[in-house]
Amino acid sequence: MNVFLDSSVLLAACGSSNGASRTLFQLASAARWQLLASPYAISEALKNVSKFPAEATRAWIDLRRRLYVVDDVVSLNRPVIFAASKDRPILFTALAYSRVLLTLDRADFADILGGQFYGLRVRLPSTFIAEERAAGRLILPKHGT
């Protein structure tokens, strides 16, 4: 399944090795998720990763290799009411290439977070992982095994 990652998720994955955003990268292969990002999302992450400790930059180098980069989509042939114009390329690109958009941006995606946009699920990383597990599509490894 194609899973599009917003820059907020990319940054969270760089900033913490214990959070749901990093867990996405750890589970992707076994779960058969193709983690997607676009040049727009990557550039947003790159602008901000320097605000994190140096370990975040080292993490970015590793995590970036695990992303499949897709072209940005900046317009749709469907009616759209989405106030956060700066995040339209994220939403439109995710719709074009994936079944789910993962974001931690609760402000700009507030109206659709937890819902759908033309069939595209918009979720927090932790919610997505929980839904996949509840649906039986994901079996989390036990700690210490």
Q: What is the mean pLDDT of residues 48-63?
A: 91
**Distant-in-sequence contacts of 125-128, Cβ < 8 A, 24+ apart:** 125/9, 125/12, 125/19, 125/20, 125/21, 125/23, 125/24, 126/20, 128/3, 128/24, 128/100, 128/102
Superfamily of 2-134 according to CATH: 5'-nuclease (3.40.50.1010)
pTM of the entire structure? 0.89
The pLDDT, as a whole number, for residue 37 is 97
The pLDDT, as a whole number, for residue 110 is 83
Nearest Cα to Cα of residue 109 among 2, 1, 8: 8
Q: What is the mean pLDDT of residues 22-44?
A: 95
**In this model, does residue 145 exceed pLDDT 50?**
no
Average pLDDT, the chain: 89
**Distant-in-sequence contacts of 129-137, Cβ < 8 A, 24+ apart:** 129/20, 129/23, 129/24, 129/27, 132/31, 137/31
- CA geometry: angle at 98 spanning 75 and 101, to 5°? 85
The pLDDT, as a whole number, for residue 143 is 55
**In this model, does residue 79 exceed pLDDT 80?**
no
**In this model, does residue 71 exceed pLDDT 70?**
yes
Query: Exposure pattern of 119-142 as b/e (b: 16+ CB <10 Å)?
Result: ebbbbbbeebbeebeeeeebeeee
Q: What is the mean pLDDT of residues 77-99?
A: 78
Q: Where are the domains of the chain?
A: 2-134
Encode pLDDT of 100-128 as tens digits.
999 999 988 888 899 998 899 999 999 99
CB 14 within 8 A of CB 59: yes
